Structure 1
């Protein structure tokens, strides 16, 4: 890894030749040439395998290549010929491996056999599957049931997720934190209060009927590139797309479709955003409040003139509750306060509102730029308020569209991966499987971290993910992780979490989704749910990386058999032999969503789960769609009058998916060679006395007894609002206090972290430099 980044503004469109060159580079670096033909033949297509990357919808009539740059990278990463085998672990102690960064660790390749940590040699050593399961089961039997955590990342299938939640509940707790807790839990809290459903209402076909799109806090070019195909089609109809995002991202500016020969030959990209505004971090409520204020003013004028109303009064009267309180709050709000908190001018807000007012069917897209704030729930509900004002919910071409990350992060919640008991049909589980499910809510991700720090957790079972790298408060968490009695990590590659051992630690290697999963009845099918609630089947096509790998369902079943008393109603072995039996169980427990599950597997484009709000049926406490009054105009923290406290946005690079780092290039932002950079407004940099391309230290600006500080950042001038800076996730998680989260959802507020920045006198190599210490009591 180079010590210094090279930065030059990227002027090429998203996609295009830059994307093709990137794919060629990554397939070559990984040596995954055998995977390339399958990208066109099988990737995200009926009869093929579903991508392990983003959760965006798969069309019924797929494109020639139904994959994006990041999806291809994920596939190359999965199907690399590189191996982290027993010889690798014999050569390296964990102390040595901890000196490596995230990319270097996973770049060693696929895990090949089960391993157990040996404290005497500080190495992982091979262990048989039978021995591993027997020891894990024996240990689980001895723990207090509430002292065990069952964590799941968003990559597991619906079948795995259903079996895993049943394992946890039959074991005796609802401690089922998942990756959704760290990204879209805010959505799962906000939307039920507003419209009665925890998921979006938009289907892929709605984009063909919309006449306006609003986007808040979402970077399409990096986080959901296949959506660009849909947006391109929208723009071909001259539909306006209005974007609000603190950074100018190339994905929202221009797209050159690699599958359109004419575009490629002439280098003629499609303009995506027709209006692009850059609010300060945490300023979205103010932006939306300003838009609502403009709509009310224009509606007053129309009413006075006897013209057509701007507001959809019929929808508001028939379908909503709380409009009067919301209207009063908007009218009382002063434009000077709105502009100050938004960070953009009144004229810009009114221009966006005018575009919205002129459209009949509007889709609102959003990402973690709304969810990961102190008032993240207010952010999402304010966006719902905007939609309610003009009846843009429950009709064709309109609705709310949260963009989820991992490929099945929404689906695993659908089939029971939830710490909240009111989200799960416990009575049905109890009756069908003859046991008494625990009725006490379990731990979410933040609460699990708190319990680990307090010494209340004995064992952690992790199904996928890189938990210690993904969470806030990393330094303290790594320290307390070593006090765990048992850590079980079900994984495909080596990552940082595996290098921080508990007293007993197991690595259990599993198949990836694109590999053939051969069980007693032959090759198996797994399923997942996309962001639009459609269910898709996935069939592996490639030979497994090692004959010693086990599928996720089989690993879950073997742990269950070892840790639980026998239950004739739960035939774990039969389920593993034929995943269709698991789908029958899912259909029995969730009949409204999964009736005739096995018969509907190969419907082109997937089959959609019912969402009542799509039909203007509101499963809320009032029986109506609820206007919600935001607590404040600022969704972030209050820095008072101190201009030196900046709002840090943590974000992903173009060479990254979640905590998986594919390389050191962020092509779409023009950054190459290092991830230890901080993007900064030039005027802020000059005001704070930091040289261009100089080196700086970030320190969290809170006083809670823990000092969080990171040095060695190269400062890059970037197009950002004043007072806002940006740096990469997960490196900067060490700066985020565990208590810095969305008030109602406990989603970490990683899009506005209070920090100070100061110049460092000497250049520090680009590796992580963190100090985190507790103050004396």
Structure 2
């Protein structure tokens, strides 16, 4: 079995002492005293709260420390004693705060009371909750609902998300974009077309039954470190793990379990990847095509020789549609083109395919490295093609496993957060709440900002997140946000979206999921869906950061009541006071998923949503799982590299970051200290561009739309990345990503392959 070498930038396993030191550092930085740090012991536990960071599955039998480094950082970030009070805004104007680094804005601490922007002083000033609700309601009543956008970040609970989508539709719009539009919408579209469900089919139990796992474009070490525990268990029983990723990421190479005294006190670690293939940025379709070609070629040879089939011929015949067209395309594809586009050798792809052929049950994990491309949906469809060849969908230990980011980003879609009316149970909602929902398609995130730039959006209700920083083309979109008539930001901490304000602007401080939520009927619990489609209950364990902070359901109910008034038959006050009444409504709307919701939400390990594809029931156009022929091997037919020396930029996160939240300026896994303004570059490219390591450079986007997109002051760092490919941090490199550069079918921004040039 191959022994993968360590990363040059971080020649240690992930986890281990490095992880423990990082947790200790964030607890000290956020002044979380030792007695309060015990809150971590209740993280992802039945008697505690679900992590506010990633959405990875929560086991029925949790570890004593069922949190990872990333989760500990997120918890420390929320439980910090640092506060942003009215005195803070007395001391700092908005104009001054706009000059602060994003890290420093959030590092200032938790927001403590509702705020309204005062143009005469250029400051946010305190207001009462009722004043805020009343004015927001008056502003919304005066606006065309189709010009108002309701955005949801992935932290919002199932209860909050359900309330918000109902409010928006009663108000008169399907403009319900969310963070899925920015990452895994390619999954929602691609899996739905291929197997009839828009989510993965793998659960934690499948880890115990699989024979082989693949990773494509998912950095488990920084994005979902708790996933390393079941991966380590799988490796201990001999399950190979084959990784395709442009960068060599330590979390995908080896792991030392911080909870294992034996591993911590010995030089041993667990090798994660048994093969590691550094695919060229944008070469995923070509790489997967090579795998499929090797498998189909082996099957053709077996048929010719009268041996047992390599393909699961019975499954393909009974359960799939379109195989012959796909197989014809694969047989005609040339290895030279596959190698050129993927950047990988035929022999390496055949070596990976050999492991696939030997395995009975195969899981493919993937992340945004696969979805955030012009051909992101095609990438997902190609993974499905590969799985279907040997019947690796709908059986134990096998299936597609998209690893989601935010902690409830999948769940909010389950309860109706979608701009696509055909995906929402509008008829059911109409009967349940006695109103006529709008039927016109709403705007997704990219479409909302396209309309904003054109002056066709009047207001944004921003439920969590830092939307101004997270979207592409910041130099175009940020001024458009500032021209809005109304911006309402529900948040725990100050961020850039609050400072680039509309004419009327509110910042409304909400409770963290970690905090005790007391309402009129008593302490409340909320729920969320994890990445494997299981629902979990969660209740807070710490005192609120401020007596004037309010829960997200409270805030949504207050704005909805002030806006809809007599138009709504919903008793928003009752829902605000008792979230179990919201869950009753959810169960009535979605009985197949949420029947007996109140009782089942505390099931150890969560209760799973029904997914027909797990039972090989295919809710597709043909009634079978669908093979798809790719349109193109090249990553980007619309934005080709037109000049010598062009580079493909992929944006990525550091280990001190969760989405736009920056916990610190170091990235220990990549050897970066004290800055995020860096570009990781192959040494061959450094030499061919006559650059020196450490030299500052400017990058400019290669595009023909007349807009000069550039980022200056990026320091060159030599790194193990394929030639012609470079990497830089998100969101610092967002100005280089055109708003129109997105996945064709899903409109997910193509942040993982941006053609750029070095200038000046």
Report if TM-score (shorter chain) is over 0.5. Answer: yes
1:568, distance to aligned residue in structure 2 (A): 6.6
Structure 2: distance between partners of 1:243 and 1:183: 20
Deviations 1:97-153 (A, max 9, x none): 111111011000000000111111111111111111110001110001111110110
Q: Are 2:294 and 1:294 equivalent residues in the alignment? A: yes
Deviations 1:374-398 (A, max 9, x none): 0101000000000000100000000
Contact 1:651 1:726 in 2 (8 A): yes
* Mapping 1:198-597, distance limit 5 Å: 198-566=198-566, 569-597=569-597
Gaps of 5+ in 1: 1-6, 761-777
Structure 2: distance between partners of 1:501 and 1:392: 49
Contact 1:195 1:619 in 2 (8 A): yes
Q: Are 2:138 and 1:138 equivalent residues in the alignment? A: yes
Contact 1:152 1:177 in 2 (8 A): yes
Structure 1: distance between partners of 2:323 and 2:644: 36
Q: Are 2:725 and 1:721 equivalent residues in the alignment? A: no
2:3 is matched with which residue?
Answer: none
SS at match of 1:566: helix
1:677 is matched with which residue?
Answer: 678
Deviations 1:514-564 (A, max 9, x none): 000000111100000000000000010000000000100000000001000
Structure 1 range deviating more: 516-525 or 640-649: 640-649
* Mapping 1:16-35, distance limit 5 Å: 16-33=16-33, 34-35=35-36
1:267, distance to aligned residue in structure 2 (A): 2.8
SS at match of 2:225: coil
Structure 2: distance between partners of 1:483 and 1:496: 15
Contact 2:159 2:582 in 1 (8 A): yes
1:569, distance to aligned residue in structure 2 (A): 3.5
1:657 is matched with which residue?
Answer: 658
* Mapping 1:62-211, distance limit 5 Å: 62-211=62-211
Q: For the aligned residues, what is the CA RMSD? A: 1.0
1:67, distance to aligned residue in structure 2 (A): 0.3
Structure 2: distance between partners of 1:333 and 1:500: 50
1:642, distance to aligned residue in structure 2 (A): 2.6
Contact 2:39 2:542 in 1 (8 A): no
Structure 1: distance between partners of 2:693 and 2:28: 35
Structure 1 range deviating more: 25-34 or 193-202: 25-34
SS at match of 1:276: strand
How many pairs align?
752
Distance 1:19 1:272, change over 3 A: same
Structure 1: distance between partners of 2:229 and 2:624: 35
Deviations 1:616-646 (A, max 9, x none): 0000000000001111112335535633111
SS at match of 1:289: helix
Contact 1:432 1:569 in 2 (8 A): no
Contact 2:8 2:720 in 1 (8 A): no
Contact 2:242 2:275 in 1 (8 A): yes
2:4 is matched with which residue?
Answer: none
SS at match of 1:266: coil
Structure 1: distance between partners of 2:635 and 2:700: 21
SS at match of 2:352: helix
1:599, distance to aligned residue in structure 2 (A): 1.1
TM-score by length of 1: 0.96
Structure 2: distance between partners of 1:146 and 1:640: 38
Stretches of 4+ moved more than 4 A in 1?
A: none
Structure 2: distance between partners of 1:456 and 1:568: 27
Structure 1: distance between partners of 2:613 and 2:644: 43
Structure 2: distance between partners of 1:752 and 1:69: 28
SS at match of 1:365: strand
Deviations 1:694-749 (A, max 9, x none): 11101001120111111101100000001100000011111100000000000000
SS at match of 1:672: coil
Distance 1:454 1:519, change over 3 A: same
2:624 is matched with which residue?
Answer: 624
1:666 is matched with which residue?
Answer: 667
Structure 2: distance between partners of 1:85 and 1:716: 40
Structure 2: distance between partners of 1:597 and 1:70: 30
Structure 1: distance between partners of 2:514 and 2:738: 37
Distance 1:568 1:182, change over 3 A: closer
1:698 is matched with which residue?
Answer: 699
2:640 is matched with which residue?
Answer: 639
* Mapping 1:1-16, distance limit 5 Å: 9-16=9-16
Structure 1 range deviating more: 107-116 or 629-638: 629-638
Structure 2: distance between partners of 1:145 and 1:58: 39
Structure 2: distance between partners of 1:114 and 1:399: 46
1:300, distance to aligned residue in structure 2 (A): 1.3
Contact 1:137 1:559 in 2 (8 A): yes
1:268, distance to aligned residue in structure 2 (A): 1.1
1:38, distance to aligned residue in structure 2 (A): 1.7
Structure 2: distance between partners of 1:540 and 1:634: 48
Structure 2: distance between partners of 1:266 and 1:75: 29
Structure 2: distance between partners of 1:568 and 1:152: 22
Structure 1: distance between partners of 2:529 and 2:142: 36
Deviations 1:251-299 (A, max 9, x none): 0001000111100010311000000000111101101111111111111
1:8, distance to aligned residue in structure 2 (A): 7.5
Contact 1:639 1:645 in 2 (8 A): no
SS at match of 2:190: helix
Contact 2:485 2:503 in 1 (8 A): yes
Deviations 1:75-114 (A, max 9, x none): 0000000011100011001111111111011000000000
Contact 2:519 2:578 in 1 (8 A): yes
Deviations 1:42-101 (A, max 9, x none): 100102100000000000000110000000000000000001110001100111111111
Structure 1: distance between partners of 2:473 and 2:304: 56
* Mapping 1:31-50, distance limit 5 Å: 31-33=31-33, 34-40=35-41, 42-50=42-50
1:3 is matched with which residue?
Answer: none
Structure 1: distance between partners of 2:179 and 2:192: 19
1:584, distance to aligned residue in structure 2 (A): 0.6
1:466, distance to aligned residue in structure 2 (A): 0.4
1:770 is matched with which residue?
Answer: none
Contact 1:47 1:537 in 2 (8 A): no
1:765 is matched with which residue?
Answer: none
SS at match of 1:547: coil
Contact 2:44 2:50 in 1 (8 A): yes
Deviations 1:321-352 (A, max 9, x none): 00011011101110000000000111111111
Gaps of 5+ in 2: 1-6
SS at match of 1:378: helix
Structure 1: distance between partners of 2:67 and 2:564: 41
1:672, distance to aligned residue in structure 2 (A): 1.1
TM-score by length of 2: 0.98
Structure 2: distance between partners of 1:30 and 1:641: 48
Structure 1: distance between partners of 2:265 and 2:179: 41
Contact 1:35 1:76 in 2 (8 A): no
SS at match of 1:232: helix
Contact 1:163 1:557 in 2 (8 A): yes
Structure 2: distance between partners of 1:495 and 1:152: 16
Contact 2:373 2:635 in 1 (8 A): yes
